[in-house]
Amino acid sequence: MAKPFLLGVLGGMGPLAAVDFQHQLLQAVNSQSDQQQIPMVVWNVPQIPDRQQALAGTGPSPLPQLIDGIEKLNRVGASHIVMACNTAHHWFEALQAASQAPLLHIADATAEAVAALSPTSVGLIATQGTLDAGWFQQRFARHGIETLLPTATEIRDYFVPGCYAVKRGEVAAGGELLARQAQALLDRGAERLVLACTEVPLALRAADWQPPRKAIDPAEAMAALCASLWQQQQTLF
């Protein structure tokens, strides 16, 4: 007998993004009743080293805490595990190796959502670590889609201070800075934006900024993938 569907969400990076992602999961299921919603367990423990600092070599690795969360989610029967944080996907292979339950990769979910819109180019907003990893660009390229990246100056002046403002709770102020990053990519010709850092979509909303064409939110793409897996499973009964 297959394990019953139970979505494990590895959160804490940050705690607000994990709550936001749960909202997206509820919205992704077209539900007539509570009972039709995705059964889930959420490990939302933010006492974990900063991922960006770890990747920059200026802080400890978050891997031990990430593995601990993965073990806890497996211990209570998670059938699938997702992470509501793009940067944490740097440790994806190590976490998959530590997990009985399969992990779903956020870039796979995003590439599917982007390909469905058939743009010729996208602008990618993400941390330096995520940009360097290349997992979004590689997947978009497989669909013939060009990826435009932020410049070093934009990252220094807009992206990094914008994200840290959001983390401090200054969401609208952070959104103003992130909107400049977004606009810079549009000005260089990006047809669509991929907001591959969980702080970005909520900060842009708080700053009341939106692009001319709907941006792709990887967390939303992941939520849609989870909803689709859950609904497929239900039709088996």
Residue whose CB is less far from a second copy, 49 or 112: 49
Minimum CB distance to a second copy, residue 97 (Å)? 20
Minimum CB distance to a second copy, residue 138 (Å)? 29
Backbone dihedral angles phi then psi of residue 82, each to the nearest 5 degrees: -130, 155
Residue whose CB is less far from a second copy, 43 or 140: 43
Residue whose CB is less far from a second copy, 31 or 128: 31
Minimum CB distance to a second copy, residue 116 (Å)? 25
Which residue is catalytic, options 78, 107, 196, 197? 197
Give the integer Cα–Cα distance in Å for 224 and 220: 6
Q: Token pair for residue 33? A: 């009743």
Which residue is catalytic, options 25, 42, 54, 85? 85
Q: Is 163 exposed, middle or buried (0-12, 13-18, 19+ CB in 10 A)?
A: buried
The reply to whether 163 belongs to the active site is no
Question: Which residues bind to a second copy, rule: CB under 8 A?
Answer: 6, 12-16, 19, 22-23, 26, 31-48, 72, 75-77, 167-169
Residue whose CB is less far from a second copy, 77 or 121: 77
Give the integer Cα–Cα distance in Å for 94 and 194: 26
Minimum CB distance to a second copy, residue 146 (Å)? 34
CA distances from 103 to 70, 125, 179 (A): 10, 23, 31
Determine if the peptide bond prior to 59 is cis (ω within 30°). no
What is the residue-wise DSSP string for 88-146? Answer: GGGGHHHHHHT-SSPBPPHHHHHHHHHHTT--SEEEEE--HHHHHH-HHHHHHHHTT-E
Q: Which amino acids are annotated catalytic?
A: 85, 197
